[in-house]
Structures are given as structure tokens and as C-alpha cells.
A = this chain, B = another copy of it.
Amino acid sequence: MQFELNKKYIDDLKKNIVEHDEDSAIKLLYELHAADIAEIYDDLNVEEAKFLYLLLDGEKAGDVLAELEDDDRERFMKALPSEVIAKKFIDHMDSDDAADVIADLPDERQEEVLSHIDDVEQAGDIVDLLKYDEDTAGGLMGKELISVKESWDVEKCIAEVRKSAEEIDEVYYVYVVNDDNILKGVLSLKRLIIAGNKKDVKEISNYDIISVKVDIPEEEVVNIARKYDLVVLPVIDSIGRLVGRITIDDIVDVMQEEAEKDYQMVSGITEDVEPSDKIWVLTRARIPWLLIGLVGGIFGAQVISSYEGALAQYASMAFFIPLIAAMGGNVGVQSSSIIVQALASKSAGFDSLFMRLLKELAVALLNAIILSLLIFLFSYFFYDSLPLTISVSVSLIIVVVFASVFGTFVPLALDRFKIDPALATGPFITTVNDITGLFIYLSLSHYIFSNFGS
């Protein structure tokens, strides 16, 4: 059953740890799912975690380690001898999780841990997996899969499932390969059960199979799995041999990470942080964007200072400085984030760059005219200064149009040069738009004020 972590439970557990009462602690952990046990980590220090997690049996211990947050895991493993990591945890983990854990260790410890793994096949799988870039299909896949030969019949196939299934937790499909291990088709356990024992694998397999090459980026893996509603995705090498499989839980994790990364970028945070992180971690995640904002503000101050004389003469020019800066920033973020989301989901369509900018121009003009009209009316009735009213209305149109087109162009350009377009939703666009807007507004209003009076 689901379990709701609560303060009383944690307090009881901590009491058991302090008293070194292993039996009571095991009893408390016994009914919990590995994901729940991993969640407790947040409320423990490393020594407490060591005491607790070493009480678990192998399978569970491995599952818990796989469920820990990356940085928690790193800190936890620092406190453990290599042999314990290998024998207590790695030996019992799925190969993909095991490879992820080992990849996070310092180079010199990786070999040490590998040398202590009892199961040679497991060690071999891990070494194979460590070769792949972690942001590719190869970095996501595990080696645990059941493959059967095209030429077999159902009976032999079921015998193979029986043989392999003990070692593999979740099996929904078996993969059909030829004698060279080239992936040919897929056979669901459902069809295997429905088919009579006399049938051949060939008859009941599905040959219309979706697979991914081992070196494609993980974002593409996510898009394929989502589009075709797959729960597991076979991975092949460059000549079509079956080398692994990616399960939906890993795909979901990548989706979540991507979404969080984009969200952080647009909200100006540079690391994956949580309110429970340490103060300096939270500060470190926030200061970079603020520094860029500060530099932007300094440039803005420089722009304004060059109009100091004009401002002294026509102080009302200053009224709309925040409005112009805010609108430029807002419009830029909107434009860039629409493009970034479309690029991420590949739903951007076939329009050419020119057509897209033209369309953005149309949207921007429509927005700009509405906004400009409103500010014209407000300023006309409230400030009784025609130069001010005309300055703000006209420059708002220019600023909104510029910010839109710039906000659309930059991510598209970044994407073309294979740079993550989400970078454009962050500080760069906002800051450039702020300063440009300021410059447009001040130069225009200076011209209008000095030629047509206040």
C-alpha cells in the first residue's frame, strides 16, 4: 500500500537508530517500498543512513540506492567502502541503474567497485554500458531483456522466458532476433499466453517494430516513446543488433528532467534546487541570472545617464521607463518560450525561418497596436503632455515588435547551430530587450520633447 511519510514515523526510526535497535528498525522498514525508504534519506545524516540502509537485504538495498536523488547518492557512497557498494548494492541492481551509480563515482573508485562485483555477467554488462554517453539511448538502456530466435516454437520460447524471468523484474515483451542477433520483431507476453504451444514464434510475432539506435540523444528517445505510447523500447546498434532495452520509468525521468531544466531556465535558476537544499546551494543557483540582470541594469543606467540633461529638463520622460523595460522583457520571454516548446516537441511544422518571423511580426504588431492604443488613452487623459503620450505609444510599438522578432529569432538560430534553444528563454533575451527598449524610448522621447516642447 502507499505510505505517507510523517514526523512520528521518522522520530520512531531515529530513536531506533540512536539506540542501535536493528530489529525494531527493520520492522519499521519492512513493509515500505524502496521509493519510500529512499525518501527517508532527506531526514537522515550520512551515518544514520548507513546504519539503516545496510540493514536491508540485497534486492531492496539496490532498489533504494537506485531511487536516491543523485547528489544524496553521491554523498552516501562517499561514506561506504568500495566492497560494500559492490556486494551490498551493485550486485543486486538492474544494469542500467548500476551503470548510472558507478558512472557518478570518481574514476579511481569505479574500477575498485567493479573489481568487487561477484556476478561477472553483471560486471560485464556495466562495463559495456559505461561506454555510452549518458545523454543517449545507450546511456538510458539496460541489458535485462529476453530474446528468442525467430525459428523457435512457442514452447521453446516459454522455456526461455522461464529461464530468464527469474533475474528480470518486469517483462512485458520478448524480442525476436535472427541467428546474428539482429532484431526482427517483438512478441508480447499476452500473445505468448494466447497462442497454442504448437505455434511458431514467427507466426505470432509483430514485425512492425519501433526501435532506437544506441547513439541517438535521449530527447529523441522520449519523443518516440511518447508519440507511439511505448512502455519499453528496444535499442539496436548501427547494424541492427539488439543491444538493450529502455523502460518507460527511465523515459519518464528524462521527461521530468527536461521539463524541470526548461522551467528553471525561464525562471532564472541555474541548478536543480529544492527549498530543503542548503542556503549556499540555493544562492549559487540564483546568483548567475541575477548577475546578468545586474549587468543589464548597469547598461540601462548608462543609457539613461547619457540622457541626464534631457531628463533634468523634461522629468516626465522618466515616467514610462519601467513600463517600456517590462514590456520588452515580457514579450521577449513569451516569444522565445513558444518557439522553445515547439522545438522540444518537434511540433514547429515546416514553415521556413522567414515565414515564421513574418508571422511573429504579424502577432507582434497586433499585440503592439492594442497595447499602444491603451497606453495612448491613459497617458492622454492623465498626463496632459502630448510629447510624452506620443513618445510612449510609438516606442511601445517599436519595442514590442523588436522584442518579439528578436525573441523568436534567437532560439531558432541557436537551434540551427545545435545549441540548446532554451538558453534564449533565460537572462540574455530579457536583458537585451530591456536595454534596447530603453534606448528606443529615450532617444525617441528626447527627440520629440526637444522638438515639440513638454
By a beta-carbon cutoff of 8 Å, the part of chain A in contact with chain B is 1-2, 7, 31, 33, 35, 42-43, 158, 161-162, 165-166, 170-172, 188-190, 192-194, 208-210, 224, 226-229, 231, 248-249, 252, 255-256, 259-260, 262-264, 266-269, 273-276, 279-280, 282-283, 286-287, 289-291, 293-294, 296-298, 300-301, 304-305, 308-309, 311-313, 315-316, 318-327, 329-331, 333-334, 336-339, 341-342, 347-351, 356, 359-360, 362-363, 366-367, 370-371, 374-375, 378, 383, 425, 430, 434, 438
Contact of A351 among B162, B276, B312, B333 (CB under 8 A): B276
Cβ-closest chain B residue relative to A212: B2
Q: Pick 11 A–B contacts, CB within 8 A, sort by A.
A: A1-B208, A170-B231, A172-B190, A255-B255, A263-B266, A263-B341, A266-B267, A279-B362, A280-B366, A297-B375, A325-B326
Contacts of A366 in B (CB 8 A): 279-280, 283
Contacts of A322 in B (CB 8 A): 296-297, 300-301, 304, 321-322, 325, 434, 438
Instruction: Indicate if the CB atoms of B356 and A268 lie closer than 8 Å.
Output: no
A171, A208, A224, A308: residue with the most chain B Cβ atoms closer than 10 Å: A171
Instruction: Indicate if the CB atoms of A263 and B294 lie closer than 8 Å.
Output: no
Contact of A297 among B267, B320, B337 (CB under 8 A): B320
Separation in Å of the A371 CB from the closest CB of chain B? Answer: 6
How far apart are the CA atoms of A184 and B70 in the complex, in Å? 35
Separation in Å of the A238 CB from the closest CB of chain B? Answer: 16
Contacts of A209 in B (CB 8 A): 1
